Structures are given as structure tokens and as C-alpha cells.
Structure 1
């Protein structure tokens, strides 16, 4: 099942972020957005392959995106 992730690029790799994107895609990540000035890449990848993204050269961190769902306004939750 695909999982949404945010990948942070090392300061040294920001200048070659397109190479990092290509390596992530080669590793199975579907890239949605590349925020070049701040070195972030968002997208999705199969849950079982998330950990392997951290091994890509130029990747500083991989964070799984969390989903928060609020109850409907008319629910009994207070």
C-alpha cells in the first residue's frame, strides 16, 4: 500500500536535487512535488520500501506523513 512521505535533502545535495529525485524515483518513489529552495521532496512509495529511501545518496531524512481526521461536527465527541 502506498504511503505518503517527505524527504529532506542534505545541504550538500540541494544543488543536485534533480539527481536525488531521479534516484528516489528509481527506488520506487512517485514524486509529487520538489521544493528546490528548501530541499524537500514529497511523494508516495510502497510502505515496505520507505526505509530504503534513507539509503539514497543526498537524503538527510525521510518522514512519513501523518493523517489526522476530525469527527464530523454533529458527532457526540466533545
Structure 2
């Protein structure tokens, strides 16, 4: 696989320590995260990051969990599977 394939941006959803939300978000951005949505009261945020930087995000102090975004497509209404 080429290096560019390893670095392709992927969507991620993170749960972080809500008591240190702003500091953790800043550290995540320094580790390569582009934030697209924040929910500080819940301690969650989403964003995009190069695939090869996911481990760096997980290592940030205050990150409780990291999940990759998934896309699910449903069959059209009226299809045999419905």
C-alpha cells in the first residue's frame, strides 16, 4: 500500500474527559485532528484525521475512547430485502 493510502483522512468520534475538555481538544488538534463537531457537556467530539495518526490520538491524555465513523447504507424502500 502506498504512503498516501495510509494517510487518507478518516472520520473519528472521541469521548474525552469532560472536566478537561478544552485542553484535551487542543492536544488532539496538535496531534492532527481536525474537529468537525464538539459536545463539551457530554465530553464527545468528532473530526477527521490521517489514518496513520489514529494511534497518536488514542495516546493523548484524557481520551477515553476513539471509534472510527462508519457509513451504513440501507436498501431502497420496496426492495426485496426490506
Range of TM-score over shorter length: 0.7 to 0.9
Give the TM-score normalised by the residue count of structure 1: 0.82
Gaps of 5+ in 1: none
Quote how far apart the aligned CAs of 1:44 are: 0.6
Give the TM-score normalised by the residue count of structure 2: 0.79
Residues in 2 aligned to 1:70 and 1:53: alpha-carbon distance in whole angstroms: 31
Aligned structure 1 segments of 4 or more residues deviating by more than 6 angstroms: none
RMSD: 1.5
Gaps of 5+ in 2: 1-7
Show the counterpart of 2:32: 28
Name the structure where helix makes up a greater proportion of residues.
1
Query: Secondary structure of 2:41's partner?
Result: helix
Quote how far apart the aligned CAs of 1:73 are: 4.7
